[in-house]
Structure 1
Amino acid sequence: MANLVNGYRRPARWLHWIIAALVLLMIPAGLIMVQKGLPRPVQDTLFVFHKNTGVILFFLIAARLIYRLRHKPPPLPDTMPEWQKRAAGIAHFALYALMVIMPVSGYIRVRADRFPIEGLDALGIGTWLPKSPELAAVAQSIHVTCAFILIGLIAVHIAATLQHALFYKDGIWSRIWPPNG
């Protein structure tokens, strides 16, 4: 019962770690798949993985946001300076916003250029967008820009977590780990 007071509940923990693992797989896939000279079968595999995992992530992130709106996160330690609490709040908001923008902009980029999303196509879910190379280009620009912002923000998130776990030892890490907590 103490974990409900001191840490995130089990569903929030599981969603966090599943989303984290998938996002950390998506980053290298996304960076590698656009490299020139990559063998076509490797590139195709990475594109299929990236697009379909993006769809899965969209639904997992939606579930996480709904859960977060219905279950207030545990309070941060009183020993944490106010500026760090504010920074953590801003960073988490930005992470959530970027994790929504990424799959939406990716979907728009792919569908506006009439590329397949194999998982959705197999379910009979067609494109909901008109063919528009201009819209695809804008969505691609947003997707790429937000990807690099997200990578930076994830690096800061991990660094802050490690700082709290290894140096401050203030319980921040144990709020989210282990997933079965």
Structure 2
Amino acid sequence: MESSPNFASSDSYSRTAIGLHWLIALLIVCGFYLGWIMTDIPGFTPTKLKYFSWHKWIGVTVFALAVVRVLWRVTHKAPSMPRRIPTWQKGVAHVTHFLLYALMLVIPASGYLYSSAAGIQVVYLGLVPLPTIIGPDTALKATLKMVHIYLNYTLLVLVIMHVLAALKHQFVDRDGLLARMIPFLR
């Protein structure tokens, strides 16, 4: 096995892509954590309402940053994977990345629609009221709640797969692939 190769700058992600990756990842972890704990708080306490607001603000921010990230990705080619990586692994990586991008957009949208169907307007950062797209609808609210929850668990599974694959490349394959997204590993 070969130790970590030195990647040329064209083999690494840009600083913008790296920054967006880690910022969105941090926000997703925070949003998931808030979503997890806020739903376990009984009743409508001030703390629960505050967590719901923060969760929504994180969702809106993730959506906006994901749009920027998708636009960046469309206009800036990702570095190619080393040829020694099996074709099936490259295929799985591409499908996983596509699904991660899609979920970064669809999950916040489903939460936003869920709030609208619940008759609750999202006020970003407590300052900017966002438009209500759909009116209150009890049946749609229940459906959108389940969609939002299931999509989040799908994201969790994909993120775990993504992290495990990155760790495999770093510690088992020792191919330097992780250094493309964590500059200090170079």
TM-score, structure 2 as length reference: 0.89
**Alpha-carbon contact 1:3-1:175 (below 8 Å) kept:** no
Moved over 6 A (4+): none
Q: Secondary structure of 2:78's match? A: coil
Shift of 1:46: 1.4
Rounded Cα–Cα distance in structure 2 between residues aligned with 1:136 and 1:64 = 29
Alignment-derived partner of residue 171 in structure 2: 166
Residues 1:70 and 2:61 aligned together = no
Rounded Cα–Cα distance in structure 2 between residues aligned with 1:59 and 1:4 = 28
Shift of 1:122: 2.4
Rounded Cα–Cα distance in structure 2 between residues aligned with 1:150 and 1:96 = 10
Q: 115, 130, 141: which is aligned to 1:136?
A: 141
Alpha-carbon spacing, 1:3–1:177, altered in 2? closer, same or farther (3 Å): farther
Shift of 1:42: 2.4
Letter of the structure 2 residue corresponding to residue 20 of structure 1 = A
1:111-156 CA-partner distances (Å, limit 9, x unpaired): 1211132317622433122222222222111101111111111111
Residues 1:22 and 2:23 aligned together = no
Alignment-derived partner of residue 55 in structure 2: 50
Q: Which moved more, 1:4-13 or 1:35-44?
A: 35-44
**Alpha-carbon contact 2:13-2:181 (below 8 Å) kept:** yes
Greater helix content = 1
**Alpha-carbon contact 1:106-1:139 (below 8 Å) kept:** yes
Consecutive unaligned residues in structure 2, runs of 5 or more:
1-6
Rounded Cα–Cα distance in structure 1 between residues aligned with 2:152 and 2:129 = 29
Alignment-derived partner of residue 122 in structure 1: 127
**Alpha-carbon contact 2:107-2:148 (below 8 Å) kept:** yes
**Alpha-carbon contact 1:120-1:126 (below 8 Å) kept:** no
**Alpha-carbon contact 1:6-1:175 (below 8 Å) kept:** yes
Rounded Cα–Cα distance in structure 2 between residues aligned with 1:42 and 1:120 = 16
Q: Secondary structure of 2:91's match? A: helix
Rounded Cα–Cα distance in structure 2 between residues aligned with 1:178 and 1:48 = 34
Alignment-derived partner of residue 83 in structure 1: 88
Letter of the structure 1 residue corresponding to residue 170 of structure 2 = A
Shift of 1:37: 3.2
Rounded Cα–Cα distance in structure 2 between residues aligned with 1:134 and 1:39 = 21
Alignment-derived partner of residue 161 in structure 2: 156
Consecutive unaligned residues in structure 1, runs of 5 or more:
none
Q: 6, 9, 15: which is aligned to 2:11?
A: 6
Rounded Cα–Cα distance in structure 2 between residues aligned with 1:68 and 1:85 = 17
Q: Secondary structure of 1:65's match? A: helix
Q: 151, 162, 166: which is aligned to 1:146?
A: 151
Shift of 1:27: 1.1
Alpha-carbon spacing, 1:130–1:121, altered in 2? closer, same or farther (3 Å): farther
**Alpha-carbon contact 1:111-1:129 (below 8 Å) kept:** yes
Alpha-carbon spacing, 1:124–1:145, altered in 2? closer, same or farther (3 Å): closer
TM-score, structure 1 as length reference: 0.91
